[in-house]
Amino acid sequence: MSDGLRKLNALWARGQEFLGSKYAILGGAMSWVSERNLVSAISNAGGFGVIACGGMNPDQLSKEIAATAALTDKPFGVNIVTLHPQIMELIEVCRAHNTSHVVLAGGVPSSDMLKGIKDFEAKIMCFAPTAVFAKKLVRMGADAIIIEGSEAGGHIGPVSTNVLAQEILPVVRDVPVFVAGGLGKGHAIASFLEMGASGAQLGTRFVTAEECIAHEKFKKAFIRGNARDAVSTVQVDPNVPVIPVRALKNEGTSEFMDLQHDVVARYKTGALNAEGAQLEIEKFWVGALRRAVIDGDVERGSVMAGQSVGMVKTQAPTKDIINELVSEAVAYLDRGDRITA
């Protein structure tokens, strides 16, 4: 065993133990993408796959968990959005399948949600945008924290991964902290581990995995893309809150801006309330993402991608992607002088 590999195993030992996986590498939950095939492939390759529940109903989630379990005997988790109207039923589905890890995303979880998950002894992972919020989540019962910077794809916050890591890693020590957003190379993973992270989460890097069911045109858009192509949406009116979304710029990006203007106009006339306006916007993303991922409409659909998309150059088996990330991390830790030009 090389010195670099020994260092890597020591650095992410806490993450390995928490996840129950060979490598402390989480697959980011991406709607329509993180389903049974990719999730099981990540877990089988030594990482930790996570099902993106997204807009699934309880029956759909139950079938997806069962189908994933049929493809792997390794641990995997389920990502549930806290604003889902049937979230307590989804938690019950996780209980029925004895799900080991539940990732709560999209907002502040309620005490009922946390209690429902704790009751069947699953480990809870929550996203935190600030150190104060991370500490609050730990006090509420979160078993691990994920910090995801604005470089990530899909719905994003306003702060970069680098800044979040500097703010949160030194002060949140009671639970494992996983870093996400803009990660495409093992060197970066290793550097965040040295800062105190217990592991890393990657999404964009796995889209072009051979096991991923995304349309061939969707994958090719990632291979062609570069960091500057992955842009975030802007909010046109502060009275209609819109969570920014990062995706590859295309006709769909312009259509979303048109939709926002239309929704804002209807909100101002009273035809829509604030909740209805937000629902209209979220419906757009659900449909636009499916058109891109499943139907291959990469011109008008939403090609959600992180800024690390420029590092995605080829299609490869999931195992090869994970092995490459690990090899890069080991090489980084093996070199006393680190990366040089």
| Residue 277 lies inside a defined structural domain of this protein | yes
Residue 106, judged by CB atoms within 10 A of its CB (0-12, 13-18, 19+), counts as middle
| Residue 158 lies inside a defined structural domain of this protein | yes
For residues 139 and 250, state if they share a domain. Answer: no
Structure confidence by residue, pLDDT tens digits, 19-47: 999 999 999 999 999 999 999 999 999 99
Full strand arrangement of the beta sheet holding 230-232: 154-155, 245-248, 230-232
Sequence-distant (≥ 6) Cβ neighbours of residue 223 within 8 angstroms = 208, 312, 313, 314, 315
Pairing of strands 245-248, 230-232: antiparallel
List residues bridging with 189 in a β-sheet: none
Structure confidence by residue, pLDDT tens digits, 66-108: 999 999 999 999 999 998 889 999 999 999 999 999 999 988 9
Q: Print the domain residue range for 50.
A: 3-213+314-334
pTM of the model: 0.94
Number of H helices, E strands in the chain: 13, 11
Structure confidence by residue, pLDDT tens digits, 318-336: 999 999 999 999 999 998 6
Given pLDDT bands bounded at 50, 70 and 90, which one contains residue 235? confident
For residues 120 and 164, state if they share a domain. Answer: yes
Task: Examine the pLDDT at 339 and tell me if it is beyond 60.
Answer: no
One-letter amino acid for residue 217 of the chain: K
Q: Which of 159, 223, 214, 249 has the alpha carbon at shortest distance from 33?
A: 214
Dist CA 219 CA 214 (whole Å): 7
For residue 24, CA distances in Å to 8, 48, 93, 151, 290 come to 10, 7, 26, 20, 29
Sequence-distant (≥ 6) Cβ neighbours of residue 230 within 8 angstroms = 153, 246, 247, 248, 249, 305, 306, 307, 309
For residues 153 and 271, state if they share a domain. Answer: no
Output the pLDDT for position 52.
97
| Residue 130 lies inside a defined structural domain of this protein | yes
For residues 111 and 161, state if they share a domain. Answer: yes
How does DSSP classify residue 109? P
| Residue 107 lies inside a defined structural domain of this protein | yes
Number of independent structural domains in the chain: 2
Sequence-distant (≥ 6) Cβ neighbours of residue 122 within 8 angstroms = 94, 95, 99, 100, 101, 102
Task: Examine the pLDDT at 341 and tell me if it is beyond 50.
Answer: no
Dist CA 168 CA 304 (whole Å): 26
Structure confidence by residue, pLDDT tens digits, 239-273: 787 788 999 999 988 888 888 889 889 988 999 88
